[in-house]
Amino acid sequence: MRISIVTISYNQAEFLERAIRSVVEQDYEDIEYIVVDPGSTDGSREIIEKYRDRIDKIIFEPDKGPADGLNKGFSHATGDVFGYLNSDDEYLPGSFSKIVKQFSENPTADVIYGHTIIIDKGGEVLRRSFSDTFNIKAFGYGACQIMQASAFFRKNIWKKTKGFNVKNYSNWDGELWHDMFDKDGVFILMNDFLSCYRVHPKSITGSKILDEKIRQYHRIRFRRIFNRDWKKSDDIFCLYWRIRRFLLSPASFFERVRFGPVYGRCKKTS
């Protein structure tokens, strides 16, 4: 079973080499690796060139943003299972072997995903972050998350969608999960940690730099799922789904209370 991985990179030389090595040094051999860089000027392209003999496809051309870059990368992918890694994140050792085993044991699964470890700019562990069993209503109320760096999906379900929405600059991964669900995609959560997700002052999650766009996307997502706008009574339903989430995952609640939130964690230092 071949895994195709796409990394999108733009001026993140500080983290890029660790991301690349986390892919090419996996203990699984049948990997197709594609790296997309629309025009970095900080030395990123030199790092990519350093690993050219271990990267199957390098795309150096302008794009319309992260979603467009991912679409370009996956247009060249030939694997059975796809995944993508932002240039400031990392896969944990052995992740590919684990995910291939899961897909082999679950032939009807379209999307399989696990948990992630949150790290800071220097790579220090901040806390663990847990994905949730996919539930479309909880997803609509913002009480269901899939940790993107720990998510993999079959080529067939990808082909049923239109790919990433190039007009979505804040939650292109969440919109893709929704599209896959609408195409009758089968989601399976595996109870394992597959990646490290980095938060830092320049990251979307760490800085809240796209907070308003994210809020707009959440309103659009809610309307798409429930066919109506948010009402005051939905505040109560939202609370219900969030409490339910923590009851189903006490470990997630513990991490949240003990170590604090991930979103906006670096806002004060940005």
pLDDT, tens digit, 9 for 90 and up, residues 62-77: 999 999 999 999 999 9
Query: Which tens digit of pLDDT belongs to each residue from 239-260?
Result: 999 999 999 999 999 998 998 8
Q: What is the mean pLDDT of residues 184-207?
A: 88
Q: What is the mean pLDDT of residues 100-127?
A: 96
Domain architecture of the chain: domains with CATH: 3-269 (3.90.550.10)
Element holding 100 (H helix, E strand): helix 95-105
Query: Which tens digit of pLDDT belongs to each residue from 27-67?
Result: 999 999 999 999 999 999 999 999 999 999 999 999 999 99
pLDDT higher than 50, residue 270: no
Whole-model pTM?
0.93
Other beta carbons within 10 Å of 250: 10
What percent of the chain has a predicted confidence (pLDDT) above 90? Answer: 86
Average pLDDT of every residue of the chain: 93
Can you give the three-state secondary structure of the chain, one letter per residue?
CCEEEEEECCCCHHHHHHHHHHHHCCCCCCEEEEEEECCCCCCHHHHHHHCHHHCCEEEECCCCCHHHHHHHHHCCCCCCEEEEEECCCEECCCHHHHHHHHHHHCCCCCEEEEEEEEECCCCCEEEEECCCCCCHHHHHCCCCCCCHHHEEEEHHHHHHCCCCCCCCCCCHHHHHHHHHHHCCCCEEEEEEEEEEEECCCCCHHHHCCCHHHHHHHHHHHHHHHHCCCCCCCHHHHHHHHHHHHHHHCHHHHHHHHHHCCCCCCCHHHC
pLDDT-derived band at 206 (thresholds 50, 70, 90) equals: low
Tell me, what's the pLDDT at 5?
98
pLDDT higher than 80, residue 143: yes
Distance CA(85)–CA(76), nearest Å, equals 16
